[in-house]
Structure 1
Amino acid sequence: MLLHVVPLADWSADPTDPTAPYAPASLAAEGFVHCSADGAAALAIADGPYRTAPGPLLVLVIDESRLGAEVRWEGSGDVLFPHVYGAIERTAVTEVLEVRRDADGRARELAPRP
């Protein structure tokens, strides 16, 4: 399973075709979708680059075997992250979790969405 941090507003945006694959801005800008391998890494991303993102943050749980796009593990040294080189089919998303933050806005845990 792969994890992808996304603001609720981005995931919930009403596409013209609701079955259209999810294609975040990073896909157009960098050529891939950033993902994480585990909950701890996803929380670190939520607490880092997404710390000041307004509104709720979600974590998409993605079944790699359901993706049509290639997944490459890339990074530097011993730290590798999965990158999806294409859009994410919505049928590959098996669960959507919510990032719970503390009073100071720090990401503390991932929880099932109510």
Structure 2
Amino acid sequence: MTGLPNILHITERSLWEEARARGVYEWSTRGRTVSEEGFIHCSTPGQLPNVAAFLYGSYEGTDELVVLVVDPARVGVPVKWEAVKPGGEEFPHVYGPIPVTAVVEVRPWP
């Protein structure tokens, strides 16, 4: 255990199941891959409700939403805390695909 707090990523269950089959998760955010965005957007538990509302507030899909709990010590690529605007709230960004072995829990999103 490294002492680093786990970070969270919300996604559709089918994308997670696809990642499990391939061994890596490569979706940055809703509809965009890590190669398109440059990193995978993540959040803290306190940030997750607002992030979920922003990304999936109008979600009308039939796929269940899940939260991936990621151990940043296991991702094997840089994890940077960055703000959208200078001086703004910082969010964790994973600069590369997330190995499925770094996902320590998968929770349903209400």
TM-score by structure 1 length?
0.77
Higher relative contact order (CA 8 A, sep 6+): 2
Instruction: State which of 66, 69, 83 in structure 1 corresponds to 2:93.
Output: 83
Q: Is residue 2:38 matched to residue 1:31?
A: yes
Give the gaps of 5 or more residues in structure 1.
101-114
Compute the displacement of 1:29 (Å). 1.2
Give the gaps of 5 or more residues in structure 2.
1-5
Compute the displacement of 1:83 (Å). 0.3
Q: Distance in 1 between matches of 2:80 and 2:25?
A: 18
Compute the displacement of 1:78 (Å). 3.6
Match of 2:109 in 1: 99
Match of 1:3 in 2: 8
Compute the displacement of 1:89 (Å). 0.6
1:46–1:57 CA contact under 8 A, matched in 2 = no
Instruction: State which of 71, 76, 79 in structure 2 corresponds to 1:68.
Output: 76
SS state of the match for residue 46, structure 1?
A: helix
What is the identity percentage for the equivalent residue pairs of Structure 1 and Structure 2? Answer: 36
Q: Distance in 1 between matches of 2:53 and 2:64?
A: 12
Compute the displacement of 1:65 (Å). 0.7
Q: Distance in 1 between matches of 2:40 and 2:47?
A: 15
